[in-house]
Structure 1
Amino acid sequence: MEQKGKMNQYVLAIDGGATKTTLSLRDAEGKIYFEKTTTSTNYQAIGTEKVEKVLTDLLEDAYTSTGIQNIAVAAFAMAGVDTKNGLAIVRNIIDRSCQNSSFCIHHTIVENDVQSTLIGLTGNNAGALVISGTGSAAYATDGKGRIERSGGWGHRVGDEGSGYWIGREILNTIFRYEDGRLPKPTILTDLVYDLLQINNIEQLNDWIYHPNYTNAQMAKISAVLSKAISLGDERAIDIACEAAKELSLMTDAVLRKIGPIHEKFVVYLNGGILKNNPVILKLYKDYVKELYPHISFHLCNQNPIDYIANRALRSLK
């Protein structure tokens, strides 16, 4: 149970992503008392009611497991918080979840997951964060409180260079070849069929339009890209080049928004696409270096929840 004298020295960090959600309860020194990962809490993908249930269950699990009731700061870093309306929707969900929990939370932060991670990474320093996972986005700060963004407009109109985008491009390639709209065969077809354990284009179409289909499943299709590239598949190489170019365009756009970039400026990189696809990573760096030769890159080696916890801890008074 909660010890006396420890009141208001605990923080909650919640990483509500498009694929999964992680909650971590830590003290002011960063010691972890509880941590659990569950399903997506992107309301744009699964709806507000499901998000509220997932968050409520997570919060109650954390309380039941620790007996800690008083939380100084709870930082909710949520996918789908891209507009004022989106922020209002998510804040209402979180307010209801917190009210239904056993916690007494003194200060709640609700913001976009990429923005929250950026603040946790950079603190009071200038820097940028480019993420390519299920979705994609670029955020940058001047270190003086100003934060700008590029991309991150969701799977329907954006997420260029992301796992979802790559997966969609791969499947589009397979359908185009099947129709006769692409002259050359691609190894992507066999790799996707093996991944999904299917045998033909009709089964692929059924998989896409199955009632249980999710954006995260589409993003997982991107896993075959590296193998196809290693086998010299021309279309796979083209997709990698396009993905890297799109991510570099996001980076350039957000860096121009925050003004002059000094020589010690760091662009932090995170997400499975940049971490697990060396060809895309190299192409991306080359594209950006052509425009900003003096900046450096840092591939994030911690889990996003750690940076979000840092963001919460920075808010402790």
Structure 2
Amino acid sequence: MHVLAIDGGGTKTIATISTCHGQIMALAETGKSNPTSMSFEHFTETITELINDLKRQQPQEFQHITKCHAGLSGVTENNNEKITYALLTSLLPKDCQLSLSNDGMNALYAGTLGQPGIVQISGTGAITLSIDASGRIERTAGWGYIFDDEGSGYDIGIRTLKAVFKAFDKRGPETLLTTAVLEYFRLNSVPEIIEVVYGEGHPRDTISPLSKVAIECAKRGDGEANTIIDQVCHVFYQSIDACYKKNPFADKQVKVVLAGGVFNELELFTKKLIAIDKKNSNQYDFVGAYSLPVGGAALAALNLPYDEAKLFIDQYDASMKKFLTN
């Protein structure tokens, strides 16, 4: 028995074929696979190319795939789930057990090893997702960068630019963010930022990476940068708590997985979130991901008990490292 795991988001998509013990036999990567932000033709082409790549690598083992989980951004919206199910069914071996979810489930299971919990994702966008013991799924936030996605890389970038412009106008305090942003864009003055932001590229792609600038300045003790991180941590906590209230758990301590590029500096965020939680419910256990999201997709397909899931993911991660270095 082999398992096919797919993790797809707004930037890239990764898929693996592995044994039920976690030994990876094939790995493929391609671009984004969000059916809400690309044409049906482009989405079909992307998924087909991904599956065919795996098939070319292991044509014999591909036929032994019995379970597949695809966690894709946007798949549960509109009619995308039905379309994606039909597409993957046409590409996979007959009688393969297929399940679909938002990519948030992959990130959650990569941290809880297939157990119930809450995941706070923050990358270019941001969303909160919870899954209880019965498999019921709830979500909060993640309604798009134009009017939501608070706490995302884009949101942090916007807050960073606001602090820089206010400092330049003397409407706000001086901040290390000014020099850091100018160095990042390789500019000489604050007014030049406008041309970059409103240039040829999408503003979201230009602004989102500034979250790294803010986080680095916060680590260096800058007051404005730390205010920004404090603000988004309160936003995260509000969304996490709202998700919990929509989907309460029986456990006194609920595991909350922090996933996505914004949380690369995990300790910075966990310290602030723990401090907020102590002033409120004191019921959340904030953790980073145990594995890559694609590993969480494999666990979603297999539905293993915790101890077996840990054995699987340990082997999966070790196999992934070997696979990538060969």
Q: 1:142 maps to which residue? A: 132
Match of 2:289 among 296, 300, 314: 300
Is the partner of 1:244 in helix, strand or coil? helix
Aligned-partner Cα distance in 2 for 1:109–1:260 = 24
Is the partner of 1:262 in helix, strand or coil? coil
CA contact (8 A) 2:197 2:206 kept: no
Match of 2:68 among 66, 74, 86: 74
Q: 2:97 maps to which residue? A: 107
Give structure 1 stretches of 5+ with no counterpart. Answer: 1-8
Matched, 1:50 2:42: yes
Is the partner of 1:291 in helix, strand or coil? coil
Number of paired residues? Answer: 302
Q: Deviation per CA, 1:13-45: give whole Å up to 9, x if none.
A: 111122322111112222111123333223444
TM-score in terms of structure 2 length = 0.80
CA contact (8 A) 2:138 2:247 kept: yes
Q: Deviation per CA, 1:20-74: give whole Å up to 9, x if none.
A: 2211111222211112333322344455443333222211111111113433232
Give structure 2 stretches of 5+ with no counterpart. Answer: 305-326
Matched, 1:12 2:1: no
Structural RMSD (CA) = 2.8
CA contact (8 A) 2:270 2:286 kept: no
Q: 1:167 maps to which residue? A: 157
CA contact (8 A) 2:122 2:152 kept: yes
Match of 1:254 among 214, 228, 243: 243
Structure 1 position 251, deviation (Å): 1.0
Structure scoring higher RCO (CA < 8 A, sep ≥ 6) equals 2
Cα distance 1:292–1:228, how it changes in 2: closer, same or farther (>3 A)?
Answer: same
Is the partner of 2:287 in helix, strand or coil? strand
Q: 2:171 maps to which residue? A: 182
For 1:58, the aligned partner's letter is: L
Match of 2:52 among 32, 42, 60: 60
What is the identity percentage for the equivalent residue pairs of Structure 1 and Structure 2? 25
Is the partner of 2:279 in helix, strand or coil? helix
Aligned-partner Cα distance in 2 for 1:77–1:146 = 16
TM-score in terms of structure 1 length = 0.82
Cα distance 1:55–1:124, how it changes in 2: closer, same or farther (>3 A)?
Answer: closer
Q: 1:312 maps to which residue? A: 301
Aligned-partner Cα distance in 1 for 2:118–2:89 = 31
Aligned-partner Cα distance in 1 for 2:39–2:117 = 33
Q: 2:262 maps to which residue? A: 273
Aligned-partner Cα distance in 1 for 2:188–2:93 = 51
Match of 2:122 among 115, 126, 132: 132
Instruction: Report the more deviating stretch, 197-206 or 244-253.
Output: 197-206
CA contact (8 A) 1:127 1:140 kept: yes
Q: Deviation per CA, 1:129-157: give whole Å up to 9, x if none.
A: 22222222222233122222222222222
Aligned-partner Cα distance in 2 for 1:45–1:186 = 36
